[in-house]
Chain A
Amino acid sequence: MRTITFDIDRFDGTRSWTQSYSFEYDPALTVLASLILLKEKQDPTLNFTASCRSAICGSCAVRVNGNAVLACDTRLDTVLTQWQSDTLRISPIGNFHVLSDLVVDWSEKVERLRTAKPGLKAKAEFNAETGCRQSPAEFALIQKQWDCILCGSCASECNKLTDNDRDFLEPFVFTHANRYAQDSRSADGLLHVKEMVKQGLWKCLHCMECVTKCPKQIAPAADIAAMRAMAFAAGNTEGKGPRHAEAFRTDLENSGRLNEVRLVPRTEGLVDAATGRMGFTLRMLKHGKLSTREAVELFVTDNKPIEGIEGLRKIIRYRRDAK
């Protein structure tokens, strides 16, 4: 008999511990079906939430070996194969307050969702009596963002939230904002973008954990990027975030590569950078990734353009002028 072991992170309101449960392997099980089996056959004190069991209600996100999945939507075989092990660690999703075992607190997240200013504020030409008009192509622009089931997976391994959740929001909040920002029916898409700028739109670290973890293949990082572009296009170019993006673009247009030496002063401003925020360049120098001569050269003369730079510049111009 093949035995599977779940090491489950438990919490009873005061005490935390890890408890091992073993059960017989069955290829027909999902992660959720395994948890239900454990609760109903072994331990009625084990707590988790589940509702629809078909990956549309968002109740049952948990972490398997530190990575968020929808328990109902994940075949046991898949994770056993993925981790090449018959022992798996099951934990509550990260960046949430844990209420008990695998159950997390959503009430705080619901309040944070409100910052996206959810709900359509439709253009003046539309009304509640006749509804709206939207082309299939315009619908397609927002369709993916509407697939969000609020399972919390995108927030679970978000490195920015783990670092500091007071000046940033859960990736799904950005996705919510963007679905109204991009909606052709919206009177003012920027309304949602402006709120998101205040809530840390430029602070995303681009670690892409949200994109990797979304069980609905939504890319919250792309929603963040889309709203940054909207903010930029609307003239919101002040602040380190926009300057950082602008520095990237300048480098790419100039040479096709990043100039790490110029990037920091361009982002931080020369004064900030000179008074102690040159750390990155200094660290590069210290670790021999950059010689002093190269650093000076890069600062003064920039990178040598890459082969095919003209093509790249053409793409950039094309995107910029397409507006």
Chain B
Amino acid sequence: MSEDNKDDTSSLSRRTFIGACAALPLADTLGSAQAAAPASDAATGGPSGSSGMMSFDVLIVGSGGSGLRAAVYAMRAGNLSVAVVSKTMPTRAATCMAEGGINGVINYPGQKDSLDSHAFDTVKGADYLGDQDAIDYFVEKASEAVRETDFWGTPYSRAKDGRVDQRFMAGHQFPRTNYSADKTGHALLHSNFDYALGSGVKFLLDYQLLDVAVDDGICSGIVMRNLRTGEIVPVRARAVILATGGYTRIFWTRTSTPYISTGDGTAAALRAGLPFKDPEMIQFHPTGVAHGGVLITEAARGEGGYLLNNKGERFMQRYAPGKMELAPRDITARAIETEIAEGRGFGEGMTAYVLIDLRHLGREKIIERLPQIRHVGLLFENVDLVDQPLPIRSTAHYSMGGIDVRDFRTMATAMPGLFAAGECGCESIHGANRLGGNSLAAAMVTGKEAGIGAAAYAAKASMPGEGALLRIAEQWRERFREATGRASGPSFVEIRDRMAQVLWDGMGIYRTEKGLTAASDALRDLQKEYHVAKIGNASLVYNTAFTHYVEVGNMLSLARCAVLSALNRRESRGAHTRVDFPQRNDKDFLHHNLVSLKGDDYVLDQRPVTIVRFKPEERTY
């Protein structure tokens, strides 16, 4: 056993160790029997193998909705050691911020809704960039997921007859969004966490994913950093599920997503050789508070809120007269930006805004059904929606793109042993634009399928080799020493904020060849600066500065992929609006963009979209 490995294992505090690996043998005592045997006894999961390197049958990275659900289903396979690693305490994930609801057709008596209708709305919402076989599978599983989570304990709001209540969300023909007040994501995340706790899932908290290791084309595990001790820890796994969420934080200063949504898993997969699919497809939510971009959920419009310009007009009349405020997000976001651009907003430049008005709903309804929205308004704008309309503007919200998933039934990628679930994966269900309520549904569905898929794979796979893990771990140790040792250099925090500005200007709601080219050049320069930036903290103990430095590096890389794809998609589709190519062009662009990393170069490839039943037609509402 190498000194490094011995340190890695002993670096776990006793509590972490017990908490995370319950009843593990200490590395060098038992482990070896496990190395060869697939499907080791769950009770002895953890450090195994002759070298004492920490090992698991199924390792899940990320503890949001999809990661927790994957963990439960991997556990259910039985007889496998399963662990969830996370750079935070579980439940800090973006899932908790989803408010409106989870889509799933339930077919209550007297309803006209159908799976076909949900599938069609999703396909159309995706502006035909979604893969229709994946979507058909998704809507069926989404319906099941709602009932199953109800059975697991998710506290859903109820209709009078006791069934799960449903509401309308934009872009849907029927009310099929099941909800828990305006905290549906929170309710789902915590009920899944509870269920995972009850199922005996092990958690390794305060570990940052650094890289995915590949041995002979097979995923052999991950290299992570123990935030508490600073140690770089290689972990072997028969199967790894990346459930690390989206990368929308690339718009750092104008996004609704949590600080931790930095695309760590997507960036690691990219470095491991996997393509990043449709990275240019980033959804802008039309309604974030004017200061900072925290979300005012679609439920505000779903419950009947008005969008008003500086003339007091409900301006959606001009853009979607049929749906008004219930038009899909991309259309509403563009409408708001157009109103501002044409001088019908309030304020100027980056601080301009329009208003959302709920006053006509009445005090009682606002307090009862939209408490979270009211709270956010009070906190960030000091505005009580009961008495006043709230300043809002578009905000970067969701990553439709992600790690290229090749099998939507198992969430397997092209690399054996590596799976992706939730927002970090791209199947593709959401295509060029995700519908409200489909993100929680996708988290629940893809998490479950990944858990089942990875467990089935792990049961048959042998424990992979340690070579790549040891090599990558050593590289990261050196990187930490070098990076934290820099005595001077530009501030990486400023690099991050400049990246956000560059992207908002060049790759925001409206995009042009010129703007994207400028963004591309600027990102290249920022990346150069990044590599010599000063961190200013060389501590090993919970060095959040270095944690964030790694995140910024990931985001710069992902942003370059997004700009490259956006430049080459010379059409407008869904969330991607090219002012210079305002029409959708199915002849040339009905395909997914796939960006891979070859050395230091970003290389673009394409794959056709899967069309099953719904022929592309013009998307109007």
A interface residues with partner B (beta carbon < 8 Å): 12-13, 28, 30, 39-40, 44-45, 47-59, 72-73, 75, 99-101, 103, 105-108, 110-111, 113-114, 117-120, 122, 126-136, 138-139, 142-143, 146-150, 176, 179-180, 183, 185
Contacts and interface: CB of A to CB of B under 8 A. Distances in A.
A176 B198 CA distance: 12
B79 to A, nearest CB: 20
Q: Which 5 A-B pairs have the closest CB atoms?
A: A120-B153, A119-B198, A118-B194, A13-B541, A131-B147
Interface string B537-576: 1011111110000000000000000000000000000000
Interface of B: 15-16, 18-20, 88-94, 96-97, 144, 146-148, 150-153, 155-164, 180-181, 183, 186-187, 190-191, 193-195, 197-199, 203, 205-206, 228, 258-260, 291-292, 294-295, 372, 375-376, 379, 493, 535-537, 539-545
A142 B155 contact: yes
Contacts of B163: 131, 133
Contacts of B187: 146
Contacts of A127: 151
Contact of A110 (B93, B183, B191, B197): B197
Given A114-B198, A143-B181, 19 more contacts: A30-B379, A39-B545, A54-B376, A56-B183, A57-B91, A103-B542, A110-B90, A120-B152, A126-B151, A128-B152, A133-B162, A135-B162, A136-B159, A146-B187, A148-B190, A149-B91, A149-B96, A176-B194, A180-B153
A149 B186 contact: yes
A179 B91 CA distance: 17
A100 B541 contact: yes
Given A44-B537, A131-B147, A139 B545 contact: no
B89 A106 contact: yes
A51 B258 contact: yes
Contacts, number: 186
A41 B167 CA distance: 45
Main SS of chain A's interface residues?
Answer: loop
Contact of B92 (A51, A108, A129): A51
Contacts of A56: 96-97, 183, 186, 372
A51 B63 CA distance: 13
Given A119-B152, A122-B151, A183-B153, A52 B158 contact: no
B162 A59 contact: no
A142 B493 CA distance: 43
Contact of A58 (B92, B151, B181, B539): B92
A51 B291 contact: no
16 contacts: A44-B535, A44-B536, A51-B93, A52-B96, A53-B259, A57-B97, A105-B15, A106-B205, A135-B162, A136-B157, A136-B160, A147-B186, A149-B96, A150-B190, A176-B194, A183-B155
A135 B159 CA distance: 7
Contact of A59 (B92, B157, B159): B92
A12 B147 contact: no
A100 B18 CA distance: 21
Nearest to B20: A107
A309 to B, nearest CB: 39
A217 to B, nearest CB: 10
A74 to B, nearest CB: 9
A99 B542 CA distance: 7
A119 B156 CA distance: 14
B490 to A, nearest CB: 13
Contacts of B147: 128-131
A55 B379 contact: yes
Which of A99, A138, A142, A148 has the most C-beta atoms of chain B within 10 angstroms of its own C-beta? A99
A68 to B, nearest CB: 16
Among A101, A119, A129, the most chain B Cβ lie within 10 Å of the Cβ of A119
Contact of B379 (A73, A122, A147): A73
Contact of B259 (A50, A110, A129): A50
A110 B89 contact: yes
A57 B260 CA distance: 11
A108 B13 CA distance: 11
Contact of A54 (B20, B97, B539): B97
Contacts of A142: 155
Most B CB atoms within 10 A — which of A57, A147, A183? A57
A101 to B, nearest CB: 8
B140 to A, nearest CB: 13
Given A44-B545, A119-B199, A139 B88 contact: no
A28 B291 contact: yes
Given A118-B195, A126-B151, A52 B92 contact: yes
B86 to A, nearest CB: 10
Given A12-B539, A110-B205, A126-B151, A55 B375 contact: yes
B151 A131 contact: yes
B96 A45 contact: no
B157 A53 contact: no
A135 B158 contact: yes
Nearest to B375: A55
Give the interface centre of A50, A118, A185 by most chain B CB atoms within 10 Å.
A118
Contacts of B20: 107
B268 to A, nearest CB: 20
Given A51-B92, A110-B205, A146-B190, A134 B158 contact: yes
A92 to B, nearest CB: 12
A73 B372 CA distance: 12
B537 A131 contact: no
B84 to A, nearest CB: 10
B545 A45 contact: yes
Nearest to B12: A107
Contacts of B93: 51, 57
A103 B206 CA distance: 11
A179 B153 CA distance: 10
